[in-house]
Amino acid sequence: MTIIANRVLTTLLVSGVVGVSLMPFASHAPNRIVSGTAFGIAEALSPWHLAIAAVLTLVLAVAATPALSRLVLPRLAAGRTGAGAGAGIGGPLVALGAAPLLLLTIMYGAGDFATRMTDPEMTAARTSLGGAFWVAVFSLTLIMMDGLQRLRVGSLVAVGYGLAVGAAVFALFAAGVFDDLSILREYANRRSAFTAAMSRHIFLVAGALGPALLIGIALGLWALRRKPVRGGVFGLLNFFQTIPSIALFGLLIAPLAALGAAVPLLFDLGVRGIGMAPALLALVMYALLPIARNTYAGFAAVPTAVIEAARGMGMSRLAILLKVEAPLALPILLSGLRIVVVQLIGLAVVAALIGAGGLGSFIFQGLGQNAIDLVLLGAIPTIAMAVLADGVLQVFISLSQPRGQA
């Protein structure tokens, strides 16, 4: 007889508790240069925050046992079949309720600690989040993802749940709970620069995505229609993917600088060794393979009988492509688009190294100044953008599935 029904939840919970217990939860320093004094979670959180966190942690621990499923939702648990059947659905449901509450409690407690440590006369003082805070956030996020996966909910429900949790966290931001944390102070000091960097980051992603879609879809269709070129096309795109991003950015500096110097018109248009031009070119090269691969796979999966039926109805080749093949291939095309968008959001960070700007500029400035809050000011929005894009495109993929397959 097993006492653990959900090993994933148990592993995440144990590793999270151990990590939170061993690492500092927050630190307080007289300024951003010197090292601060570290505080464990027991010192940082107020007693009632700590009590709520302990109760919710205990609830999560009980959710990992088979007893909870039998006691709370016996009928639903009995009807569960397939992988994870032993855990029932009572445990995941309880975990999905307790995990966000614990997350909000910890986040609120961190903001409350920063407020308590703030001295109006010491404007340079900084309260930073420690490793224990981030371990708790990542562990609870993974617990929520595990719960959604075990319940086998659709993409719409999963995204709706994520938006609800995100809205609760945003409400804490809007209420000013985190205003005294150092990362928010960095944001307040660089508000205009942050807005410009965010806009530049989005422009880099969108500016690379447009040409990559046009070229990648064309290459995928070409490889599908012309078998002799298939190996060469995918071999070349695979080669682009094997080049490390920093190396590719560096390789483009010399030829683009020479091209800009030789053709003044291109120089006036922004084609130079550093800046937007090499960044956009490299991002387009990285995006081509997933788009071309998924275009090829999507159109190749369209049944031949369907195409023949369309021809029999007198449809032209272009009409078959647009009205028959493209809709059927759409879910696979969107899957490739999801991969590309998330990949571009991450790679655009590295583009800051060659003067392209974006959120990566904060990350590299922070690394150079040993200012972790400045690093987080660039890293957290990047992660949020990638997660949001992934969730939105997951919804579109689900909606594009033929009825009965979503």
Kindly report, residue by residue over 156-195, the tens digit of the pLDDT.
888 889 889 999 999 998 998 988 888 888 888 888 999 9
Mean pLDDT across the stretch 139-146?
A: 92
pLDDT over 70 for what percent of the chain?
92
* Backbone torsions φ then ψ of 29, nearest 5 degrees: -130, 150
Q: Is the pLDDT of residue 197 over 50?
A: yes
Kindly report the pTM of this predicted structure: 0.80
Q: Which two tokens stand for residue 222?
A: 């070409």
pLDDT reported for residue 83: 45
pLDDT band of residue 386 (cuts 50, 70, 90) is very high
pLDDT band of residue 3 (cuts 50, 70, 90) is low
Helices (H), 263-371: 264-268, 276-300, 304-312, 317-320, 326-350, 360-369
Q: What is the C-alpha separation between 52 and 100, in angstroms, rounded?
A: 13
Helix, strand or coil for residue 119? coil
Closest CA to 10 of 61, 59, 51: 61
Q: Is the pLDDT of residue 117 over 60?
A: yes
Q: Is the pLDDT of residue 199 over 90?
A: yes
Cβ–Cβ contacts within 10 Å for residue 42, how many? 11
pLDDT reported for residue 68: 59
Q: Average pLDDT, whole number, for the chain? A: 86
> What's the angle, vertex CA 362, arms to CA 357 and CA 364, rounded to 5?
90
Q: Is the pLDDT of residue 86 over 50?
A: no
Q: What is the C-alpha separation between 171 and 177, in angstroms, rounded?
A: 9
Cβ–Cβ contacts within 10 Å for residue 74, how many? 12
The letter for the amino acid at 71 is L
Task: Order across the sheet with 126-129: list the strands.
Answer: 37-39, 26-29, 126-129
- The listed range with the strongest mean pLDDT (145-154, 296-305, 390-399) is 296-305
Q: What is the C-alpha separation between 104 and 101, in angstroms, rounded?
A: 5
Q: Which two tokens stand for residue 251?
A: 């390789």
Q: What is the C-alpha separation between 38 and 182, in angstroms, rounded?
A: 14
Q: Is the pLDDT of residue 292 over 90?
A: yes
Which is more confident, 395 or 31?
Answer: 395
Asked if residues 69 and 89 have their Cβ atoms less than 8 Å apart, the reply is yes
Q: Which two tokens stand for residue 364?
A: 């590299």
Q: CA distances (Å), 149 to each of 4, 62, 95, 220, 404, in order?
A: 18, 19, 12, 32, 19
Asked if residues 351 and 279 have their Cβ atoms less than 8 Å apart, the reply is yes
Asked if residues 141 and 100 have their Cβ atoms less than 8 Å apart, the reply is no
pLDDT reported for residue 406: 52
* Backbone torsions φ then ψ of 38, nearest 5 degrees: -85, 145
Mean pLDDT across the stretch 24-41?
A: 84
pLDDT band of residue 70 (cuts 50, 70, 90) is low
pLDDT reported for residue 67: 65
Q: Which of 158-167, 244-253, 282-291 has the lowest mean pLDDT?
A: 244-253
Closest CA to 395 of 65, 64, 162: 162
Mean pLDDT across the stretch 142-154?
A: 86
Q: What is the C-alpha separation between 271 and 260, in angstroms, rounded?
A: 5
Mean pLDDT across the stretch 283-304?
A: 92
β-pairing verdict for 126-129 and 26-29: antiparallel
Which is more confident, 346 or 68?
Answer: 346
pLDDT reported for residue 69: 56
